[in-house]
């Protein structure tokens, strides 16, 4: 491919754009991962990452993509044949469910419509039926990246408690951590799964398990085979800031800077900035008269918006056109949504002008591909962004 001048717009819903200070930290020379400098860095990031998950308990850092941390959550806490209750929010919930089955877990899947979040009432009803407490864990995705739907995790916690059920609660926050408010400890989550490449603004390659005391206790008797993912050895070596095997040294250098950047901005401001980009995007999409994949406004995602194309139009063709003409990558439709939706990532290192730039590229693409839409969506986004310098609730038109 010939060189395309100007900056590439990486607007997939993760990996997101990596800010320069983080890139610079990743590009620094690799240090000895068993030396004193790394020990200090390790302790700093292992403590710092807890503030992002909002927990006072340990967070494990793996040199792996998010899929690895999914596996780690399951194999550290469960035994062969254990039952797990999951909810079909979309593609990523489906993949986690498939993984659980491959690992020898009996994974039940409550059917969803790929347009809504987790139905906490359905979880509660199923747990109430489970009088013998055969279900050992409830595992759900906080922000379903394939659909742009965010689920109410405290409601899931209440459902488990309401049923008086002892199941562990596991939550995937791969596309919400650092973008959408999340509280591991306050919400009573036992294992939270995270990844580096989205709200944390790092390249892919690190993933996380934030663990509760209850999950740690479960790991003492869990019998699924595990070695690389084993929490015990990790926790032991992490005490002094080290890892049982070679960590992703350079990504950990970047992680320290990413955590600092998030705190410098303030987590609440980070979340408000994501809410604002998402709201501007939705106003634009709604003005175009295109449909948002997420059905329920209370479940709209602040890290991405999935947009449905009218029948007979190809989302993949639109994305290809936008990539070749405007040097912008948008997310594709996954599984049954393939070619039917495109996804706009508005997460990570992102500001207002990037929002309008992205939306302009999409609006021009719609024209080029002759996809029916009402002109002026970008203007609707600009009206919102220029009339509102702070909170979403103060929106002015
Ligand atoms: C919600 C969610 N869960 C899990 C994954 C899988 O993570 P990875 O691709 O980093 O292995 C992704 C990836 O996009 C995701 O968005």
The b/e string for 285-304 (b: 16+ C-beta within 10 A; e otherwise) is bebbebbbbbeeeebbbbbb
Question: How does residue 396 score in pLDDT terms, banded at 50, 70 and 90?
Answer: very low
pLDDT at residue 242 in the model: 98
Question: How does residue 9 score in pLDDT terms, banded at 50, 70 and 90?
Answer: very high
Residue-averaged pLDDT of the chain: 96
Query: Does residue 23 surpass a pLDDT of 70?
Result: yes
Per-residue pLDDT averaged across 357-383, rounded? 97
Query: Does residue 196 surpass a pLDDT of 60?
Result: yes
For a pLDDT cut of 70, what percent of the chain falls above it? 97
Token pair, residue 371, equals 């996809």
pLDDT at residue 119 in the model: 98
Question: How does residue 1 score in pLDDT terms, banded at 50, 70 and 90?
Answer: low
Is the separation of the CB atoms in 194 and 164 below 8 Å? no
- pLDDT, tens digit (0-9, with 9 covering 90-100), for 279-325: 999 999 999 999 999 999 999 999 999 999 999 999 999 999 999 99
- pLDDT, tens digit (0-9, with 9 covering 90-100), for 63-110: 999 999 999 999 999 999 999 999 999 999 999 999 999 999 999 999
pLDDT at residue 37 in the model: 98
- pLDDT, tens digit (0-9, with 9 covering 90-100), for 252-291: 999 999 999 999 999 999 999 999 999 999 999 999 999 9
pLDDT at residue 2 in the model: 75
User: How many residues would you count in the chain?
Assistant: 397
Nearest ligand 1 atom to the CA of 95 is: 4
pLDDT at residue 389 in the model: 54
Is there an atom of ligand 1 within 6 Å of 141 CB? yes
| C-alpha distances out from residue 253 to 43, 63, 225, Å | 12, 13, 31
Is there an atom of ligand 1 within 6 Å of 148 CB? no
**Distance from the alpha carbon of residue 164 to the mean position of ligand 1, in angstroms:** 31
- pLDDT, tens digit (0-9, with 9 covering 90-100), for 134-183: 999 999 999 999 999 999 999 999 999 999 999 999 999 999 999 999 99
pLDDT at residue 391 in the model: 47
Is the separation of the CB atoms in 254 and 26 below 8 Å? yes
Nearest ligand 1 atom to the CA of 141 is: 1
**Distance from the alpha carbon of residue 83 to the mean position of ligand 1, in angstroms:** 23
**Distance from the alpha carbon of residue 95 to the mean position of ligand 1, in angstroms:** 9
Is there an atom of ligand 1 within 6 Å of 71 CB? no
Per-residue pLDDT averaged across 336-347, rounded? 98
For a pLDDT cut of 90, what percent of the chain falls above it? 96
For atom 15 of ligand 1, the residue with the nearest CA is: 174
Per-residue pLDDT averaged across 31-58, rounded? 98
Nearest ligand 1 atom to the CA of 204 is: 10
**Distance from the alpha carbon of residue 385 to the mean position of ligand 1, in angstroms:** 30
Question: How does residue 395 score in pLDDT terms, banded at 50, 70 and 90?
Answer: very low
Is there an atom of ligand 1 within 6 Å of 146 CB? no
pLDDT at residue 3 in the model: 81
């Amino acid at each position: 491919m010939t060189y395309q001048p100007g900056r590439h717009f990486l607007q997939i819903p993760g990996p997101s754009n990596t800010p320069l200070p983080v890139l610079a930290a990743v590009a620094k020379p690799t240090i000895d991962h068993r030396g004193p400098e790394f020990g200090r860095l390790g302790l700093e990031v292992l403590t710092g990452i807890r503030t992002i998950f909002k927990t006072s308990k340990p967070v494990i850092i793996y040199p792996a993509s998010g899929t690895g941390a999914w596996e780690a959550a399951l194999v550290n806490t469960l035994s062969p044949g254990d039952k797990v209750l999951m909810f079909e929010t979309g593609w990523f919930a489906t993949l986690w469910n498939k993984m659980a089955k491959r690992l020898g877990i009996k994974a039940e899947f409550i059917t969803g419509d790929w347009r809504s979040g987790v139905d906490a009432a359905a979880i509660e009803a199923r747990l109430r039926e489970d009088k013998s407490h055969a279900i050992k864990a409830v595992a759900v995705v906080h922000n379903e990246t394939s659909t742009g739907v965010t689920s109410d995790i405290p409601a899931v916690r209440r459902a488990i408690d309401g049923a008086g059920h002892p199941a562990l609660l596991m939550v995937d926050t791969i596309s919400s951590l650092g973008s959408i408010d999340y509280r591991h400890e306050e919400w009573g989550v036992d294992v939270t799964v995270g990844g580096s490449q989205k709200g944390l603004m790092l390249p892919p390659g690190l993933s996380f398990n934030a663990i509760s005391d209850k999950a740690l206790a479960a790991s003492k008797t869990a019998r699924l085979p595990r070695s690389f993912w084993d929490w015990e050895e990790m926790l032991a070596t992490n005490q002094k800031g080290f890892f049982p095997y070679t960590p992703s040294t350079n990504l950990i250098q970047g992680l320290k800077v990413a955590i600092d950047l998030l705190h410098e901005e303030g987590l609440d401001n980070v979340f408000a900035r994501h809410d604002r980009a998402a709201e501007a995007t939705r106003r634009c999409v709604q003005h175009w008269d295109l449909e948002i994949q997420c059905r329920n406004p209370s479940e709209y995602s602040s890290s991405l918006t999935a947009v449905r194309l009218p029948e007979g139009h190809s989302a993949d063709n639109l994305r290809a056109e936008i990539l070749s003409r405007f040097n912008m990558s948008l997310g594709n439709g996954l599984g049954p949504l393939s070619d039917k939706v495109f996804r706009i990532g508005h997460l990570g290192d992102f500001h207002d002008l990037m929002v309008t730039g992205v939306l302009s590229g999409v609006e021009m693409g719609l024209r080029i591909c002759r996809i029916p839409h009402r002109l002026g969506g970008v203007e609707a986004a600009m009206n919102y962004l220029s009339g509102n310098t702070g909170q979403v609730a103060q929106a002015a038109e």
